[in-house]
Amino acid sequence: MVKTQKTKPNQTDRLLVIACGMIAREVLAVKQQLTLDHLELTCLPAEFHFYPDRIAPAMDKAIEKAKAEGYEHIFVGYADCGTGGLLDRVIEKHGVERMAGPHCFAFYQGMDAYAKVADDDMMSFYMTDFLCRQFEAFFIKPLGLDRHPELIKDYFGNYEKLIYLAQTDDPELDKVAEKAAAMLGLAYERRSTGYGDLTAELALAAAST
């Protein structure tokens, strides 16, 4: 299901960002920060984070729909995100661009910074502002950890550390991340990333319209 903001009569001079629902708040924050008034946003369901096989076909339909509505400038607010290159086939088919990198955890840190820590972070469980806000809805309840906490070792036993990639400075989100690390039995690290490469890539996409 694709949720789209109300469109304007003339879309030819506007930039439509089709993004993962997990970064919707951040895209809108960058839009406001850079005063990108001609940027519009539509999102695919955040739950696709758990079902990457659904991303490419849904994006294909979303781009086709956007073009039918008259959008000429479209930017994909996804990295590869576990599609194994299938998303790249879609964007090549439609002649659009996407966020660089393997996933949002990489572009939030910045691709250069991520390249330096990727190997060391292989046994780390990443959280973002979105995942802190949705920790219970995205992890606790779906995995049944509220009813069966003994499953924590089954799901998270191979991780060594929880790394909170913080887009904002929110003490309440810090508490969620710290509590999650304690509950999962993981070491804790907080990295203040801001919006990482999202800011520069949206600015570049907007400048091309």
Q: How many domains does the chain have?
A: 2
Residue 129, domain member (yes or no): yes
Confidence bin at 8 (pLDDT 50/70/90): very low
Residue 124: exposure state from Cβ atoms within 10 A (0-12, 13-18, ≥19): middle
Does one domain contain both 19 and 46? yes
Q: Which of 138-147, 153-162, 175-184 has the lowest mean pLDDT?
A: 138-147
Closest listed residue to residue 18, CA positions, set 33, 3, 36: 3
Confidence (pTM): 0.90
121: domain range? Answer: 111-192
Residue 16's identity, in one-letter code, is: L
